[in-house]
A and B are shown apart, each in its own frame.
Chain A
């Protein structure tokens, strides 16, 4: 059973960089064919996919956020991370990490519990 757990600061100041880590247990992030995503949900709103890192290390980002995102992985710790730069209040959201076992035609079958990040001075 794959489990994911987000961690990171719950409060970030405007213009700073939001940094979150997802720790994966019960499965290796280096497993062939696995895509590891970040998804966010603004308060009371719907879901927005942010980007993924593939098991090979390649990444793909939502074009609407691409200029501010970096997703990386630390295979030795079985973790992957999100950095979102130049944050504003509009980046206040619950951030989830999730896994897909494929992309085209895939789905998010495992999710972390989510972590609320508030952008405020």
Chain B
């Protein structure tokens, strides 16, 4: 199985900050990496697919980059509605796996 790790596991930030979350795969996954946002009590929401493509309807302050084993999600000008948990997910192997999540809360 392809294992996914994320760092940090949590972070505190203020409205207007720039935040970067990293995700690492246990082997190369090309660009087959997706990012999701999950708010308490809700299902995950797709933000970024194939590492850097913005899902329709997602604000442009969200961006993704990376390839191979190392990826990042950046949120520019953090907004109140962005406080949530973020998960990466690989779709390279037949068995899709998720990262453990990064919780972004208010400083």
Chain A interface residues toward B at CB < 8 A: 46-49, 60, 62-63, 96, 98, 103-109, 111-114
Main secondary structure of the interface of B (DSSP, over half): loop
Pair B91/A105 contact, Cβ less than 8 Å: yes
Give per-residue flags for B40-73: 1 if the beta carbon is below 8 A from chain A beta carbons, else 0: 0011111001100001000000000000000000
**Least distance between A106 CB and chain B CB atoms (Å):** 5
Across-interface contacts of A113 in B (CB, < 8 A) = 42-43
Chain B interface size range: 20 to 34
**Least distance between B60 CB and chain A CB atoms (Å):** 19
Pair B43/A60 contact, Cβ less than 8 Å: no
Across-interface contacts of B32 in A (CB, < 8 A) = 104-105
Q: 8 Å CB contacts to A: which residues of B20-53?
A: 32, 34, 36, 42-46, 49-50
Across-interface contacts of A107 in B (CB, < 8 A) = 34, 46, 49-50, 89, 91
CA distance A44 to B73 in the complex (A): 22
Q: A104-B32, A104-B91, A109-B55 are in contact. List 17 more A-B contacts (CB 8 A).
A: A46-B99, A46-B100, A46-B101, A47-B98, A48-B98, A63-B95, A98-B43, A103-B94, A104-B92, A105-B91, A108-B36, A108-B46, A108-B89, A109-B49, A111-B44, A112-B43, A113-B42
